[in-house]
Structure formats: C-alpha cells, structure tokens
C-alpha cells in the first residue's frame, strides 16, 4: 500500500526523496560534531578565564600571619561576575584542610591535582550546574607568602562559575551553524531539482515525441542528444518497436495469405454446389460431389499450411532433443499411401543408429512432409522418391530426392517464396498452393539453417531434383 504513492513520484521527486534524507543525516551528524567542537572551544576559552581568576585569588592570598587571608578587591568580584554571567563561588584552604576561606562545600575533583597543574571538572552546586577549577599552589607561591618570614604553605584554591555562559555560547554557535547548513541544504535541493530538469529535458522531448505519434507509427525513436544512461532504454524500445512492426507485418501477411489462398477455393465450391443443385442426372451429381471433395481437400491442406506458416512466423522457438531417424520414418509412413497411389518407388535412406538432434520436432516434421508431398506431386509416373537424413558434429540435414523434370532456372530462384509454384513441364500435378517450400524455408531458417534446391546428376542413374534442409546443432545462425 505504501509503495503506490512512491511509484507515482517523478524521477526528480525520487532522486530528491533519496538524496535529501541522506543529506539531512549528514548535516545532523555535522551539527552534532559542531556542538562537540563548540563545547570544547567554549571550555578551553572559559577555562582560561577561570584559571585567570584562580591566579588572581592566589596572588591575593597570604599565609604570612600563620593563618590564611584573602584580599578580594571589588574589581576582582566584578570581573568574576562579568566572566561567568552568573554566580561565582571560591574556596581557599590549606593542604591539610584545617584552615579555609570561602565556600567550604565546593565539589572536589575525583583525584587530587598535582601541584601547579590546574584541573577543571563539571559538577552541581546548590542545585546549579557549575564548572569548577581546582589548583594546588606550590610552596612559596603568592605575592604575600613570604611576608613576616613565616614558612610558606601549600594551598588548595577552587573557583566555580555557572555554566550558563558556556551553554549560551555553544547554543548560539550551533544555531548559527544549523542556519548555515539549512541554507546550504536548501540550495543543494534547488540545484538538484534545476539540474534534473535540465538533464531530463531530452527525456521529456522523447516522451513528447512518443505521445504525438499515431498508433500505427512504429518508426524508431530519435536518439539525438540523449544521455548515455538513457541510450540503452531507447535502444530497447526501438528493438521492441521493430519486433512489433515485424509481428504486425506477419499478421498482415497472414491475412493476405489467407484471403489469397481461400478466396478461390470457396468461390469454386460455391459454383460447384450450385451446379450440383441444378444437376438432374445422378452421374452429374456424383462427379460434382467428387470435385467438391477434391476442392475441400485442397482447401483444408491450404488452411493447415497457413496455420503452420503463421505459427512458424509468430511463436518463440522451443527446441527439444529428438531422433531424426524416427522423424523420417514417421513422415515416410504417413506419405506412403499417397506415393503408392501415384505408383512411385517411395523409400527412405537413414543411418542404422539413432541420430539425436535439437530442434522443434513438429515443425521440422511439417517441413519434411511438405517437401516430400511436393516431390510426390511433381515426380514423373513410376519415378523414385527418397527421404534421407544425416547428422554430424556441425549440424543435421534432411533431403528429399525425386525423379522429375528439372525446374526452370527462372522459377528456381523464386522457389521458397509464398505462392510460387514449381510447375515444371511434364509434372503429373502442376498445381498447388505454393506454400510447401515457403513453410520449409521458414521453419529451417527459424532453426538458423537454410533450404537449398538443386539438380543432382548421379553417375549410372537418372538425374533427380534434391530439396535439402540443413541447420546447425546449436541452433545458432549458420
């Protein structure tokens, strides 16, 4: 359910939907790192100020009287207030903790600092977050340490200030960075949208070109000024248009073939039925019915041939492994009665062992059947018709040899085209639909092979015509 709105987004919207969330995450991570850097910078700056305050307290601390005294002039307190922008607390104590001045309960660091090394840490004092600086003075430090000749003591000096100023600085820094990043992000989004609009202009022009076409216009799309990434899509569309145009051409050809092939038999049948209805003598009716039966047989065979031709033109190849020898036996057995009726010497010449090959068995059987049917129809009375099969490492072949008159060269060069008949002189049945050779050629070319028609001179025997089908074992183009 959620994928439908996303699927309706434009390419521009999809690119922005993919890029902008990633950019937002990157900007968020950058702001988080900026906040850490700002906090470190604020701590470094304010800690230096806090250390200055500690040094000022140290300079105004004295142990000369044997006790502890701290002189904090008004200006020093005013400096603390201006620096911290809040409450300032301090504590000065002897190292043994017996004497101390200021706020005695200031939070202590986790570890005692080394003398002369300031330590800063965050804590909560009186319910308020503070930054505490702790410094252990070295003996002899301080302006008044040695006054009166008293022995100097090690002192612990602490100054705590509110972190409000630090947080305000960090917040202001991060907000300025966020405003800057938001502006940059907006500019990036606008730039991407503008660039996509410019880059997709050829695609929009291509879409307008397709939209303005007529449904029957299957010309290839123009490839001018197209991005390299879009070129494969246009090539695929052009290939599909070419296949569609080829399919439509085949459909138109099939309709033309069907109308061409069936119009004459139907008109003849109509005339013959009318003659039979008008006939009065039984012998005339019987002769007309016999003629009608012959015409129906011719029309049925032509229709079946047209269907086989349409299937060979339109369907996708689906090869299978089969035995070529068994296929020749099957076709020869089916055509044997027809050859016997024509008083022909009909036989087959195949290897003694099976001949496995790859191809569309049913279509190849139809191709061989059409060649053999033509050979039987066009052979001289009492002649020979032989079906042959062979296969080797390169490919497979089917051959049909028949003794008959040679086909004239001007007719031979057009054999295999639709509705071209090889009406040779002296043939017993110089009639037919002219589809047999076209079917055989279409089927063998579908397998990547070829059809060859030739006159074969045989030493010691009569010359004969040979129809030869060959296709490679792999099914690739020969």
398-415 tens-digit pLDDT: 999 988 777 766 656 656
In the predicted structure, residue 478 carries a pLDDT above the cut 50: no
**Rounded Cα distance, 438 and 455, in Å:** 19
Mean pLDDT of 15-33: 82
> What is the share, in percent, of the chain residues with pLDDT greater than 90?
9
Mean pLDDT of 97-122: 85
How confident is the model at residue 386, as a pLDDT? 92
Mean pLDDT of 462-466: 81
How confident is the model at residue 439, as a pLDDT? 79
In the predicted structure, residue 258 carries a pLDDT above the cut 70: no
Architecture of domain 12-143+152-170: 2-Layer Sandwich (3.30)
How confident is the model at residue 411, as a pLDDT? 59
Phi, psi of 108 (to 5 degrees): -95, 150
Give the pair of three-digit tokens for residue 233. Answer: 């899509």
CB-CB neighbours of 142 under 10 Å: 22
In the predicted structure, residue 475 carries a pLDDT above the cut 50: no
How confident is the model at residue 432, as a pLDDT? 46
List pLDDT tens digits, range 49-70: 888 888 888 877 776 666 677 7
How confident is the model at residue 477, as a pLDDT? 39
Find the helix packing angle between 361-378 and 436-446, rounded to 10°.
Answer: 150
In the predicted structure, residue 321 carries a pLDDT above the cut 80: yes
How confident is the model at residue 431, as a pLDDT? 46
What's the whole-number average pLDDT of the chain? 78
Mean pLDDT of 338-358: 89
Pairing of strands 100-102, 384-391: unpaired
List pLDDT tens digits, range 127-181: 889 889 999 887 655 444 444 444 556 888 888 888 888 888 888 888 888 888 8
pLDDT band at 259 (very low <50, low <70, confident <90, very high): low
In the predicted structure, residue 76 carries a pLDDT above the cut 70: no
pLDDT band at 322 (very low <50, low <70, confident <90, very high): very high
CATH no., domain 320-472: 3.30.565.10
Q: Which carries the bigger pLDDT value, residue 301 or residue 451? A: 451
Pairing of strands 88-94, 69-70: unpaired
Burial class of 364 by CB neighbour count within 10 A (0 to 12, 13 to 18, 19+): buried
How confident is the model at residue 75, as a pLDDT? 58
Chain centroid offset of residue 297 CA: 52
How confident is the model at residue 64, as a pLDDT? 65
Q: How far apart are the first and last CA of the chain?
A: 51
How confident is the model at residue 2, as a pLDDT? 47
Mean pLDDT of 211-227: 77
How confident is the model at residue 399, as a pLDDT? 93
319 contacts 475 by C-beta, under 8 angstroms: yes
Mean pLDDT of 187-203: 81
> Which of 5-9, 32-36, 453-457 bottoms out in mean pLDDT, i.e. has the lowest?
5-9
Mean pLDDT of 242-253: 77
Find the helix packing angle between 436-446 and 282-314, rounded to 10°.
Answer: 20
How confident is the model at residue 415, as a pLDDT? 64
Give the pair of three-digit tokens for residue 7. Answer: 């699927």
User: Is the entire prediction scored with pTM above 0.85?
Assistant: no
Most confident residue range from 112-121, 252-261, 299-308, 320-329: 320-329
With CA atoms as reference, report the closest residue to 352 among 398, 400, 321, 389. 389
For the chain, the structural domain boundaries read: 12-143+152-170, 216-315, 320-472
How confident is the model at residue 275, as a pLDDT? 77
471 contacts 444 by C-beta, under 8 angstroms: yes
pLDDT band at 79 (very low <50, low <70, confident <90, very high): low
**HEC secondary structure over 115-170:** CCCCEEEEEEECCEEEEEEEEECCCCCCCCCCHHHCCCCCEEEEEEEECHHHHHHH
**Rounded Cα distance, 384 and 339, in Å:** 10
List pLDDT tens digits, range 286-304: 888 887 887 777 677 777 7
Within this chain, domains 12-143+152-170 and 320-472 share the same CATH topology: no
How confident is the model at residue 347, as a pLDDT? 92
């Amino acid at each position: 359910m959620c994928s439908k709105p996303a699927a309706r987004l434009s390419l521009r919207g999809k690119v922005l939907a993919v890029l902008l969330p990633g950019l937002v995450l990157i900007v968020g991570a950058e702001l988080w790192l900026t906040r850490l850097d700002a906090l470190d910078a604020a701590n470094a700056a304010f800690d230096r100020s806090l250390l200055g305050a500690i040094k000022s307290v140290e300079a105004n601390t004295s142990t000369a009287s044997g006790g502890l005294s701290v002189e904090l002039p008004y200006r020093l307190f005013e400096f603390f207030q201006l620096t911290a922008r809040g409450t300032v607390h301090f504590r000065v104590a002897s190292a043994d903790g017996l004497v101390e001045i200021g706020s005695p309960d200031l939070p202590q660091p986790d570890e005692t600092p080394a003398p002369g090394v300031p330590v800063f840490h965050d804590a909560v004092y009186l319910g308020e977050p503070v930054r505490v600086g702790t410094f252990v003075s070295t003996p002899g430090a301080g302006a008044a340490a040695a006054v009166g000749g008293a022995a100097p003591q090690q002192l612990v000096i602490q100054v705590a200030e509110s972190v409000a100023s630090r947080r305000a600085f960090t917040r202001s820094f991060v907000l300025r960075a966020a405003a800057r990043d938001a502006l940059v992000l907006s500019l990036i989004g606008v730039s991407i949208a503008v660039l996509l609009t410019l880059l997709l202009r050829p695609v929009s022009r291509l879409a307008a070109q397709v939209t303005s076409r007529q449904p029957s216009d299957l010309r290839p799309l123009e490839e001018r000024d197209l991005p390299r990434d879009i070129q494969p899509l246009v090539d695929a569309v052009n290939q599909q248009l070419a296949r569609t145009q080829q399919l439509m051409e085949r459909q138109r050809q099939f309709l033309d073939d069907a109308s061409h092939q069936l119009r004459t038999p139907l008109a003849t049948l109509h005339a013959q039925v009318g003659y039979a209805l008008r006939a009065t003598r039984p012998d005339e009716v019987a002769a007309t019915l016999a003629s009608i039966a012959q015409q129906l047989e011719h029309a049925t065979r032509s229709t079946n041939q047209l269907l086989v031709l349409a299937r060979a033109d339109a369907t996708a190849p689906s090869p299978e492994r089969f035995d070529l020898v068994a296929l020749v036996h099957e076709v020869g057995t089916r055509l044997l009665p027809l050859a016997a009726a024509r008083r022909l010497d009909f036989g087959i010449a195949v290897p003694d062992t099976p001949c496995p090959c790859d191809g569309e068995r049913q279509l190849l059987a139809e191709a061989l059947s059409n060649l053999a049917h033509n050979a039987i129809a066009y052979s001289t009375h009492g002649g020979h018709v032989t079906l042959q099969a062979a296969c080797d490492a390169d490919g497979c072949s089917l051959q049909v040899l028949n003794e008959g008159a040679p086909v004239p060269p001007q007719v031979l060069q057009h054999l295999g085209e639709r509705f071209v008949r090889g009406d040779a002189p002296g043939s017993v049945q110089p009639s037919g639909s002219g589809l047999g050779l076209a079917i055989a050629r279409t089927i063998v070319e579908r397998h990547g092979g070829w059809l060859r028609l030739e006159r074969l001179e045989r030493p010691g025997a009569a010359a004969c015509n040979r129809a030869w089908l060959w296709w490679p074992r792999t099914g690739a183009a020969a």
